[in-house]
Chains A and B, each alone.
Chain A
Amino acid sequence: MARIYTIWGAAVLLLLAVAQYSGWSLTSTNNGKTNPRSVRANPGAYRSPYYLPGRTLRGK
């Protein structure tokens, strides 16, 4: 049991070190490609394929 825990603990700390060094995050984002020029030219016209108008929680 002690050996298993030692391996587990070392793995947790190693994973933490990698996560911190590599900048991992638990936030999910939608990654994609877009045209920066067209967005700059008309920010209001830009609509991401993931954006659905009206999906907000609309307050309390």
Chain B
Amino acid sequence: MTTSLDPQRPRPEAASLSCPSCGAAIELHTQGWAASVACASCNSVLDASDPNLRILQEHASAVRIVPRIPLGSRGTWHGASWAVVGFQQVTITVEGTDYSWTEYVCFNPYRGFLYLSEYQGHWNVIEKLRRRPVVDTSGARPVARFDERTYKHFQTATAHTTFALGEFPWELRVGDSIVARDYVDPPYILSAEASDGEVTWSRGTYTSAEQLMAAFKVETKFRAPSGVFANQPNPYALPARSVGRSVLLFLAVLMGMLVLNMATAANTTVFEQGFTYDRADSTNAALVTSAFELTGRPSRVEVDVSANVDNDWVYFNFALINEQTGDSREFDQQLSYYRGTDSDGSWSEGSRRKSVHLAAVPSGRYFLRIAPDGGEAFRSGVDYRVVVTRDVPSYLFYLCALLALTVPALLAVIPSASFEGRRWAESDYAPESSSSDDEEE
């Protein structure tokens, strides 16, 4: 599928000949450059380099396919004028299913050949490479490096020409097969086409149908793209990358805040004392503690209560009372701890210790009023201990912040990941794929 252009050769002109098979008129636009031409009337493939158009393959195809871009169309692409001179359909078979795409051969007498490919509404503009990419097969997935870009191997398949029309710069025959290895780095795709020991590399650039319709002045609207193509740019990739960078920054800041908070929080124990709750004298169970000082700016106060309950429970009603102002904050806690054994083994439930955080308690002199209550009837008493700590960090808020930062980030990444999943589902690396035909030359 290679061709070479000799600048010394005269500029070709269209020549009118007739098909030796069916007699239909054949116009050669690439006279001098084409190696074969497929008759639009009888589908015979002819030798374009032969003055008598020797028949290479008679009635090569039973089906007829109408190109979306009519042969003979002219268009301007990247500042050069191109004529569409050839058209072929190529088919691969994967797990018993045929997948076909079409290729258009475009010709410019000064620039040579350019190719357009279309698969289910996805278009690529393809140019042959003069340099060979470097293929690295050392990793789990082969990669090809070209022009400082790294292309991941996508698929290897044997492709057959199943229909041809017009002129081609190589000696085409319907039924010819090549082994095509595709490597992708959107919006580019590198293809290595191997045939008869010769490997031809080309690079395709994903291009919108609208651009090509405008370039070749095609009035019939091309079909809308279906699915995700191998080198289709991911429209969600940029926002996902941006969000990814932001979330890393935010998590670093969150970690810094946590360390700073742990280092600077006073976390001072201002009161600690043990008590006994005698259920036999429950009317006198309520008590008040000695006063303790809370200093500094309004900050969190932790009241931690633990009790030696065992197959028992106890309820506490607390009031933190400011000795000077009478401001009180009431809260309660219940401790219960039960254990035993059953057919599944030993079990336990509940907790002997709990703590509560009181929000933004101003400085001042405080005491606690503690009223224990309840418990199993046959239990006599409970020893319990109360610890009051000033300015404690709340890790719950950090956990909330972590969730608030990561969950939206994950939601933002899902569309991009889903797009990539659909892309690679069509490759040799789809999770359910068993193909391993990725050997390299």
Contact = CB atoms under 8 A, between A and B. Distances in A.
Chain A complexes with chain B: yes
Interface of A: 1-2, 5-6, 8-10, 12-13, 15-17, 19-20, 22-36, 39-40, 43-44, 46, 48, 50-51, 53, 56-60
Contact of A2 (B242, B299, B400): B242
A9 B331 contact: no
A37 B428 CA distance: 81
B373 A27 contact: no
Nearest to A50: B330
Given A23-B361, A29-B358, A36-B367, A16 B298 contact: no
Given A25-B300, A36-B322, A48 B317 contact: yes
A60 B313 contact: yes
A12 B338 CA distance: 40
Contacts, number: 158
B357 interface: yes
A19 B299 CA distance: 10
A27 B358 contact: yes
Interface of B: 238-239, 242-243, 246-247, 250, 253-254, 257, 261, 283-288, 298-301, 312-313, 315, 317, 319, 321-323, 326-331, 334, 336, 338, 349-350, 356-361, 367, 369, 371, 373-376, 391, 393-394, 396-398, 400-401, 404-405, 408-409, 412
A25 B412 contact: no
16 contacts: A9-B247, A13-B250, A19-B394, A19-B397, A20-B257, A22-B298, A22-B360, A27-B358, A29-B329, A31-B327, A33-B326, A34-B321, A39-B369, A51-B330, A57-B336, A59-B336
A26 B399 CA distance: 13
A20 to B, nearest CB: 5
B186 to A, nearest CB: 19
Given A20-B257, A20-B393, A8 B408 contact: yes
Given A24-B300, A51-B317, A57-B315, 4 more contacts: A12-B401, A29-B329, A36-B322, A43-B286
A13 to B, nearest CB: 6
B369 A43 contact: yes
B288 A60 contact: no
A30 B406 CA distance: 34
